Structure 1
Amino acid sequence: QFVLGMVLALYVGFSRLNHIRFVAQDPMLTGILKVSELPGQSTFWRFLASLNLNVAQQLLQLQRVLRERVWQAANVRLSSITLDTDTTVHTLYGKQMGARKSYNPKNKGKKSYQPILTFMAETREYIWGELRNGDRPDGKQIARHLAGVFAALPQCIQKIFAR
């Protein structure tokens, strides 16, 4: 169940363990695994800490291959897609490293992280994301994010629109 949980997290596009908390009680994932909720982030960290550094790139390649296979099995034939990229605010309490005071409409003046997330509009799949400090992303950070997005896309995609 634990390994299947990791594979499912990879398939839905999580590149950071912190993202797993967003779907820890998702009925579809927990139903497949036959558990009430996914293990905590520290459990996943312990598992990954036991692996070597080359595994990270292999996991990202696995994510792309799994997406391609699921598309093939579901007869999804997209050659053109629309990417939705946006940032969100995650308010922090305490003294977490990388926290910044920035745009935070619900908790003005509080420190936060500002993750940047990309989804595919046609299938609503999570493609790529980065947990970032609270500052607005600059051009280099956006370019690095988009490079990760493009690497995660299936090879059948020929035309990409963004919004």
Structure 2
Amino acid sequence: MKNIAKKYSKRQPKIKAEMSGKGLTVHAGLLPVLNFMGKLMFRERVHEAVHKDRGANARYQFVDAVQMVVIGLIAGATSMVEVMKVCTDEVLKKMSGWKEVPVDTTIGRIMKLASQGDIVELTGVIHRFRGKIWKRAVRSGHKLRSALCEVWIDVDSTVDGVYGKQEGAEVGYNPHKKGQKAYHPLMAFIAETKEVLHSWFRCGSAYTSNGVVEFMKECMAYMNKGVRVVFRGDSGFFTGELLEYLESIAKPHNK
């Protein structure tokens, strides 16, 4: 029996694996994102909105930092260190035109140059991008055109716990870890297109409905004229002030 087993047994060959190819990337899915950014003229629009020129001799400009952070976040990065790991990919560098990629502390320092007013301007750029994309989508398909006549806005809040001394983090309602400091952002989504329409950064002690009326006013300002909006949220948002506002802007629905 042993002889039969020995006769038909085969030794596992030793295979050596090595990366010898050039021009390979593990982030191939980001290449269409870079092409899409180019079609939207992402860099030009960000530069027009926020003038943060760091001088002709500066290796990196504010728009470089913004693009790198956006690319990193799309790739799943959750910190500046991870953003830089993504952006150091040689294929991405060549496709994006980045000659060099800075260290995470440099990117963080550049991003801190942005003021509250700059953030508002960047938010406006996002919504102008949305309008441009919606126009293209409407031209290309009847289904989406019909959907955008009426949209459902889903409003929700989420608790994001943090460790250490993080600016703006406070102890509040935290179902995951009681007593932990956290952030409690408020977010709005468009159900039909799966887009993040708007978001507010809030401290962890903020109640669910804090500021929701002003938040919805900003959401409505971002919507195209003639679009019927249906609000959807859990019971924590249904305060008297919000209901009064929604009723004040309500339009008759013809069945």
The TM-score range, normalised by the shorter chain, is: 0.5 to 0.7
C-alpha distance in 1, partners of 2:149/2:207?
A: 29
Residue identity in the other structure for 1:159: R
Assess if the C-alpha contact under 8 Å between 2:157 and 2:185 holds in 1: yes
Q: CA separation of 1:140/1:44 partners in 2, compared to 1, >3 Å: closer, same or farther?
A: same
C-alpha distance in 2, partners of 1:96/1:115?
A: 15
Q: CA RMSD in A?
A: 3.8
Name whichever structure is richer in helix by fraction: 2
Match status 1:98 vs 2:158:
no
Residue correspondence of structure 1 range 1-163 to structure 2 within 5 A? 4=37, 7=42, 23-26=73-76, 35=92, 43=107, 46=110, 49=113, 55-75=118-138, 76-77=144-145, 78-137=148-207, 141-153=211-223, 155-163=224-232
Three-state SS of the structure 2 residue aligned to 1:74 is helix
Report sequence identity in percent: 25
C-alpha distance in 1, partners of 2:228/2:106?
A: 39
Q: Which runs of 5+ in 2 are unaligned?
A: 1-33, 46-65, 77-85, 94-101, 139-143, 233-255
**TM-score normalized with structure 1 length:** 0.67
Residue identity in the other structure for 2:125: L
Q: Which runs of 5+ in 1 are unaligned?
A: 11-16
Name whichever structure is richer in strand by fraction: 1
Task: Give aligned pairs, total.
Answer: 143
Residue identity in the other structure for 1:144: E
Q: CA separation of 1:109/1:61 partners in 2, compared to 1, >3 Å: closer, same or farther?
A: closer
